Amino acid sequence: MKKRMNILWAAAGLCALAASVGAATSDLAAAERVTKPMRTEANSKVVLEKSASADFVVVGGGLSGICAAISAARHGAQVVLIQDRPMLGGNCSSEIRMGIMGAHGDQNKEAGILEEIQLRNFYYNPLMRYTLWDDVMLSTVRAEKNITLLLNTSVDGVEMEGGRIAAVKAWNSNAYTRWTVKGRWFADCSGDGILRLSGAKFRHGRELPSEFDETYLEAGGDSRTMGNSILLQLRKTDEHHPFLPPPWAYTFTDADFPVADSVRDAKLISLGAKTLFARPYPKKNNFWWIEFGGNLDTVGDANEIQFELKKVAYGVWAYMKNHPDGRAKGYELDWIGSLPGKRESARFVGPHILNQHDVTSGGHFEDVVAYGGWTLDDHHPDAVFRKDGPVSVQYAAPSPFGIPFDCLYSVNVPNLMFAGRDISCTHMALSSSRVMATCATLGQAVGTAAALLVKYGIDPAQLRRERIAELQDALEDDDCMLPYRWRKVSALTAEATCADGVSVLRNGIDRSYAKKDNGVWVAPGEERIVYSWDVPRRISGARIVFDSNMTTRGKRMRKLEATTERAAMPKMLAKGFRVELRAGGAWRTVFKDDANYLRLRKISFAPAEADAMRLVVTETWGDEKAHVFALDAK
């Protein structure tokens, strides 16, 4: 069993993590054996002072921050990632449990680092337990040697030099430690925009509809926002017991939940809007509508909002569980969130402010670096207490729509970028761009940009003017789809000769799209994915994209956690494969993996002269054939 686990760690690319954990354990054990004098007020500090420095400092460890840190680190930047919670993941972590939503449409699912993490979760966490999901995200970050991770650490100050952020100040309440973290470039992925302490321009609330001619805004020019939500998770049961709520919980009746057909709005009907109401029934429900706080300050009033949501959540469950129609007879309350998930607070201002018309027109930007595709999903500030209309109104949006780099860096603090729900956008545009899969792509864009800032010693504005094409190419090479363009294959790949049935692997479209397959089905052992050259070429690596069944929504964490049903790896994904080079008429294996579970594989090997390269799949995760979207020689 121990040998098998070692193989799995190696296959996951987490050898460095395993080694570092082992070394840290040994160091701690050795330190404990050193005899030290008793600590007293005379020889010990109560509060420690520590410092760190990096090329790139990321504040916030949700999906946008995770992807920003990982992408920057993999491209060579030294990174400090600061997270104020004991786990990573933000709204999708075990303490909040929001679903990872993104672009609509089977062909538009987000790939890149997000897909990597979700596939790793399938592999290590087939029962889809939230505790393990937290640690899958943690493992992915800890595997990167260029990332220093500070958990339980809250940024509460900024040091400025010459109009630039020089350092952030932070407090770790677990370790009674004050941190000073210096950096050259910074990214705010906190959601709430704590780096507004720098003096960066921001907005909080709803614009006047006239400012951007946003016809979907029903009102504006105020500080009202979408609210926060606390979720419930239920467990199926054969027993039935009434639920006794805390004495401070609200009491709800049928009159508190208007039926959709009873509230009609002529304007919404004319705009083709979809109206969503609270649905107080247990089946297939994640209770997103247990929402409150849009009429308050979702940051400054967070504690009050949190307790108010507890009162609502327990009251909602008591209403359902004890309802005389027996609607919740087969369910028990398994978990209730204690930390609300936020939809909206502050938004930074960048050179461009994404607005309703940018979204509805498809976001055709020359500096596109990410995309959305969720509906314009505007939640009413009154939320669950609204009686005269829907809790949320959804307007159709094209999927995908482009999001430009000009929305991801500050207009007045030159070394500040941002990703997540605090990007430069209007309230209405945020109603679509805020969902977590979109935030992940924004984070990967910012992290990849940061590595280019380090490489060239420039700021985001200069990168936008001079290096935007390089950023876009790097993102596409890392399996990030960008709307209205496709990836450029490597020069070696373009110059190769291959069979007609294999040439599709060189079209730069690494997914099924517009009803075209764009891939090759290959049986284990079949040797038909071959590139050859007239004269030997120097080859040192390969880029491979396998099909990980991105049409499925099944990679999301489940609403019902207490289940023994196991998640299955995508059956058409290659589990085993090898890459071979031909020299002097003889083939030799230069790379082999028998436990692959990832979609994108970038592999390197000792440079060699060869006149041909081939990919051979040796095993799938269940199908008779594997599906391959791309093979590039490097």
Q: pLDDT (tens digit, 9 = 90+) per residue, 601-629? A: 999 999 999 999 999 999 999 999 999 99
The residue among 485, 516, 542 that closes a domain is 485
pLDDT band at 269 (very low <50, low <70, confident <90, very high): confident
Q: Residue holding tokens 């570092």? A: 20
Q: Average pLDDT of 547-562?
A: 79
From the CA atom positions of the chain, what is the Rg in Å? Answer: 26
Looking at the predicted structure, is the pLDDT value of residue 15 above 60? no
Please tell me the least confidently modeled range out of 2-16, 122-136, 471-485, 617-631: 2-16
89 and 192 belong to one structural domain: yes
Q: What is the pLDDT of residue 556?
A: 85
Please tell me the least confidently modeled range out of 234-243, 413-422, 500-509: 234-243
User: Could you tell me if residue 577 is inside a domain?
Assistant: yes
pLDDT band at 271 (very low <50, low <70, confident <90, very high): confident
User: Could you tell me if residue 115 is inside a domain?
Assistant: yes
553 and 615 belong to one structural domain: yes
327 and 310 belong to one structural domain: yes
Q: Average pLDDT of 157-178?
A: 97
Looking at the predicted structure, is the pLDDT value of residue 107 above 60? yes
Q: pLDDT (tens digit, 9 = 90+) per residue, 33-82? A: 778 899 999 999 999 999 999 999 999 999 999 999 999 999 999 999 99
Looking at the predicted structure, is the pLDDT value of residue 553 above 80? no
Q: What is the pLDDT of residue 21?
A: 44
317 and 330 belong to one structural domain: yes
**Structure tokens belonging to residue 632:** 């590039």
Looking at the predicted structure, is the pLDDT value of residue 335 above 90? yes
355 and 424 belong to one structural domain: yes
Q: How far apart are CA 443 and CA 151, in angstroms?
A: 19
If we measure between CA atoms, which residue out of 502, 362, 548, 521 comes closest to residue 489?
502
Q: What is the pLDDT of residue 12?
A: 42
Position with higher pLDDT, 75 vs 269: 75
Q: pLDDT (tens digit, 9 = 90+) per residue, 278-316? A: 999 998 888 999 999 999 999 999 999 999 999 999 999
CATH number at residue 133: 3.50.50.60
Looking at the predicted structure, is the pLDDT value of residue 16 above 60? no
Looking at the predicted structure, is the pLDDT value of residue 633 above 80? yes
User: Could you tell me if residue 35 is inside a domain?
Assistant: no
Q: What is the pLDDT of residue 268?
A: 80
Q: What is the pLDDT of residue 62?
A: 98
Q: How far apart are CA 116 and CA 114, in angstroms?
A: 5
Q: What is the pLDDT of residue 29?
A: 65
3-state secondary structure of 504: helix
User: Could you tell me if residue 556 is inside a domain?
Assistant: yes
The total of structural domains in the chain comes to 3
Q: What is the pLDDT of residue 261?
A: 60
Could you tell me how far CA 299 lies from the centroid of its own chain?
Answer: 22
Q: What is the pLDDT of residue 294?
A: 97
**Residue 598 domain boundaries:** 491-633
Q: Average pLDDT of 122-137?
A: 95
User: Could you tell me if residue 609 is inside a domain?
Assistant: yes
For residues 165 and 80, the answer to whether their CB atoms sit within 8 Å is: no
190 and 275 belong to one structural domain: no
Beta bridge partners of 593: 577
515 and 567 belong to one structural domain: yes
User: Could you tell me if residue 18 is inside a domain?
Assistant: no
171 and 56 belong to one structural domain: yes
Question: In whole numbers, what is the pLDDT of the chain averaged over residues?
Answer: 93
Looking at the predicted structure, is the pLDDT value of residue 4 above 50? no
480 and 503 belong to one structural domain: no
Looking at the predicted structure, is the pLDDT value of residue 351 above 90? yes
Looking at the predicted structure, is the pLDDT value of residue 258 above 90? no
Q: What is the pLDDT of residue 7?
A: 36
For residues 91 and 189, the answer to whether their CB atoms sit within 8 Å is: no
The HSE-up count of residue 137 (CA atoms within 13 Å, CB side) is 27
Position with higher pLDDT, 396 vs 266: 396
CATH number at residue 616: 2.60.120.260
Q: What is the pLDDT of residue 35?
A: 80
Q: What is the pLDDT of residue 264?
A: 65
User: Could you tell me if residue 9 is inside a domain?
Assistant: no
Position with higher pLDDT, 583 vs 239: 583
Q: Average pLDDT of 457-475?
A: 98
Q: What is the pLDDT of residue 10?
A: 39
Q: Average pLDDT of 427-446?
A: 98
The residue among 285, 311, 342 that closes a domain is 342
The residue among 485, 514, 548 that closes a domain is 485
Q: What is the pLDDT of residue 495?
A: 97
Q: DSSP letter string over 440-479?
A: HHHHHHHHHHHHHHHHHT--HHHHHHHSHHHHHHHHHHTT
DSSP 569: P
The proportion of the chain whose per-residue pLDDT surpasses 70, expressed as a percent, equals 93
Question: 107 φ, ψ to 5°?
Answer: -90, 0
User: Could you tell me if residue 543 is inside a domain?
Assistant: yes
305 and 385 belong to one structural domain: no
**Structure tokens belonging to residue 7:** 């193989």
Q: What is the pLDDT of residue 190?
A: 98
Buried b (16+ CB within 10 A) or exposed e, 278-294: bebebeebbbbbbbbbb
507 and 438 belong to one structural domain: no
DSSP β-ladder status, 376-379 and 392-395: antiparallel
370 and 510 belong to one structural domain: no
